Amino acid sequence: MERIGVKKVKGGKLIKVRFVEEGGIIKEVKISGDFFVHPEEAIDEIEGCLKGVNLSRVREALRDFAMRKAVRTVGFALEDIAEIIEERSDSV
């Protein structure tokens, strides 16, 4: 099932997360918005770290990613992505 969540985070940045889940597992994910990530290709890596993850382990997957990769987010935190996914997962 495809789900879309949008959040305006502290500081006014907008984050949009579109994901497809089947049986509680994230199959596809796309993160967009008016924020910055350095290096730029890291957004693809963040999306990749979420593919195949159980919805109950999204925060853990993002924490593990942050520990392995040197990524700088400007205007949002990885926790914001987890909150969006969790909120959309609970709403259905």
* pLDDT, position 72: 93
Long-range contacts of 37-46 (CB under 8 A, 24+ apart): 37/71, 37/72, 37/73, 37/74, 38/71, 38/72, 38/74, 39/71, 42/69, 42/71, 45/69, 45/71, 46/71, 46/78, 46/81
Segments of the chain with pLDDT less than 70: 91-92
* pLDDT, position 91: 55
* pLDDT, position 6: 96
**Domain-wise residue ranges, the chain:** 2-90
Topology annotation, domain 2-90:
Enolase-like; domain 1 (3.30.390)
pTM over 0.75: yes
Q: What is the pLDDT of residues 65-87, one digit of tens each?
A: 999 998 999 889 999 999 999 99
* pLDDT, position 17: 98
